[in-house]
Chain A
């Protein structure tokens, strides 16, 4: 296979002025989408689908793809500045990114997240060119047992690494899982934990919960600290990461990219999971893990690289097998079908212009995003200069409008406020929201994978141990838990966590 020739052919298509224009419009809209909480890329793509009816197939798919990965860029901006994740995959960025902003380092945080995203996105695209079809076949090998075990591992890693008290971390994970079971049973359709409230038939939404735990609780906790105002009033020095920042970030970027690249291929949750895993890994390998959570640049660089690499490789199952990994990619699938293009194994043969044109456009799109985001960082930083008495009401206002706009349901606002209060008390008692949120996101997928696995195995749990990928994931998870609870390792772990 002549990859080089194909890439050249692809660039011939994606660099045509009309396609560059569509790409530009796509990434701008995507960034905006990511910055504004509540308005997701799927909503934006839905609004724009009718426009693509009249545009050429390649151009419209290039634009829709631009919205998708542009949103990953934009999502990190609000995470850093106001601790509201614009996209679920940038939840982790809130932890250290926002701390950096509060210590007057919003510029470097935004800068490294833009550069990191660019580098990871580029590597992801290059990898996608070479390994798209062999890797898609590997991703298919992940059946229900592999999914379940991998998600268990992801959760345990997070619990193991980010908490001082293991018990508190596990209880938060369990709380998140229980929350995710609210609503209708995914197999039988019967209501669970609905307490006779019709609104709870649909469960408690992830967006209200996350906005409550991260946005509202953060704001409430900040109200106690009047001295913080000064930090925001001081001049933010340097919008670009310094040489030292780069030296600190380069390995997290490389590791994050690698993690995101491989986890992104898995259908469902790739970008979210990879950002969490990357954060955990960075904290583990760091020489000064005590700085994590205090605003360390590694905690931004790794996860940001991971979620962008993952959103590039998320295209692999869609383009090569016609399997959309999430709602956004499903909308892209609809866009392709309008133009009489069926994604799948035949796509490469029948529409090479679409396949290579779209893939190379993601490269040009990443360049455009970098060029676009660097000057804009200055603009976003202005927002942090707002005094708290204006900023906090604005954040709450954004949250209320954002959360209401999803379902036009007042009930969601109440959920958000309740979880804002819960999050506030969790903060007071040293319970961190991250395991809760990850468990909540993974819960429905874990439940489904668990039930499917047990049906396939006829009720025997051995299925999780007889399949190699699943077995390895579970053994690592058990190992982490056991070492965490035993004496010597416990000391060592506390050292890692507290850095003593």
Chain B
């Protein structure tokens, strides 16, 4: 009989303590902040955001919780964030493909350039065309020739429909008059799993997805989609070199929130996130995943960069005849 009441007392004390802990401070943030990650766990947008969240938690004195909402190449997360209350407690981590790529090709359930405030860029990554170590494709040309001889047989793992790499290869198919079979996954980590298991022939993740696998020599890099060759993989040619000057795509990792968040809160978050990216822990991770950009953009400079890249995509897509007719 006695233990029962002691148990009850302990429980009441616990809930009381919980209430005290939850009692509000006057300044933002007064409750946990949520970062919605647009991809499956295990690759750059996920690990990077979690690392930044750790620092932000210490710095802001509130929990910063990361949640994965994979799907539609980040569009699921962006839709949720666009509908969220603009109070600074719901943010997103994703790539710019849901902002400057997909919306130029199809209707999306948010306004990419009007619904969000872009805070920090925490990575600028190159895409790589990867195959298994023992694949018959020794060069990028081998792959193209296979696709030419076997229309609609080459399976390509992508991180979502109308993601950057998907569009690049749709464009390639148009230029070379090929037909590929694109298999969408929830992010770079599951795409690489499918490649390793032989369920797709080629995967086109960004560096954070393939760096460790190339290092351990389980996959080979046929080409990269950057402007120039990468220092770490001097043997992998760019698609530009191979005769496709339009097919230069980069993936920017971006932290953003709903548009109408108060200016002061946005400023505060930008500063904290920028500081988080200077910690040795983040630098180490960024180096490991090869996602570090020497001069990460933030605030207006980031927005300006996104608008510039959006304009470029819109022009290219129009030229290729795949742009959304508005």
Taking the closest CB of chain A, its distance from the CB of B32, in whole angstroms, is: 7
CB neighbours (8 Å) of A183 from chain B are 76
Partner of A189, one of B7, B73, B189, B218: B73
Are A344 and B213 within 8 A (Cβ)? yes
CB neighbours (8 Å) of B305 from chain A are none
Find the A residue at minimum CB distance from B66: A46
Within 8 A of B (CB), among A129-165: 140-144
Are B32 and A408 within 8 A (Cβ)? yes
Taking the closest CB of chain B, its distance from the CB of A82, in whole angstroms, is: 13
Taking the closest CB of chain A, its distance from the CB of B222, in whole angstroms, is: 20
- Give A324 to B186 CA distance when docked, in angstroms: 13
Q: Which of the candidate stretches B45-53, B229-237, B265-273, B315-323 sits at the interface with the other chain? A: B45-53
Are A49 and B54 within 8 A (Cβ)? yes
- Give A494 to B70 CA distance when docked, in angstroms: 42
Taking the closest CB of chain A, its distance from the CB of B96, in whole angstroms, is: 15
Partner of B72, one of A188, A321, A329, A390: A188
Find the B residue at minimum CB distance from A452: B183
Within 8 A of B (CB), among A297-351: 317, 321-324, 326-327, 329-331, 333-334, 337-338, 340, 342, 344-346
A178 close to chain B: CB less than 8 A = no
Given contacts A324-B41, A324-B42, A338-B281, contact A191 B161 (CB under 8 A): no
Within 8 A of A (CB), among B75-109: 75-76, 78-80, 83, 98, 102, 106, 108-109
Q: List the count of A-B residue pairs having beta carbons below 8 Å apart.
A: 158
CB neighbours (8 Å) of A390 from chain B are 4, 8
Are A458 and B212 within 8 A (Cβ)? no
CB neighbours (8 Å) of B181 from chain A are 455-456, 458
- Give A202 to B77 CA distance when docked, in angstroms: 9
B160 close to chain A: CB less than 8 A = yes
Are A337 and B197 within 8 A (Cβ)? no
A50 close to chain B: CB less than 8 A = yes
CB neighbours (8 Å) of B65 from chain A are 43, 46
Are B79 and A191 within 8 A (Cβ)? yes
A382 close to chain B: CB less than 8 A = yes
- Give A359 to B323 CA distance when docked, in angstroms: 52
- Give A344 to B216 CA distance when docked, in angstroms: 8
Are B72 and A185 within 8 A (Cβ)? yes
- Give A401 to B21 CA distance when docked, in angstroms: 14
Given contacts A141-B197, A144-B199, A344-B212, contact A327 B54 (CB under 8 A): no
- Give A326 to B46 CA distance when docked, in angstroms: 12
Given contacts A187-B71, A455-B182, contact A267 B79 (CB under 8 A): no
Task: Annotate A386-424 by CB proximity to B: 1 below 8 A, 0 otherwise.
Answer: 100010001001000100000110000000000000000
Interfacial residues, chain A to chain B (CB-CB below 8 A): 43, 46-47, 49-50, 53, 140-144, 183-191, 198, 201-202, 267, 317, 321-324, 326-327, 329-331, 333-334, 337-338, 340, 342, 344-346, 382-383, 385-386, 390, 394, 397, 401, 407-408, 448, 451-452, 455-456, 458
> Could you show 9 A-B contacts with beta carbons less than 8 Å apart?
A43-B65, A140-B196, A143-B194, A188-B161, A189-B102, A191-B79, A201-B79, A201-B83, A458-B152
Interfacial residues, chain B to chain A (CB-CB below 8 A): 3-4, 7-8, 11, 15, 18, 31-32, 34, 41-42, 46-47, 50-51, 53-54, 57-58, 63, 65-66, 68-73, 75-76, 78-80, 83, 98, 102, 106, 108-109, 152, 155, 160-161, 181-186, 189, 192-194, 196-200, 212-213, 215-216, 218, 281, 284-285, 288-289
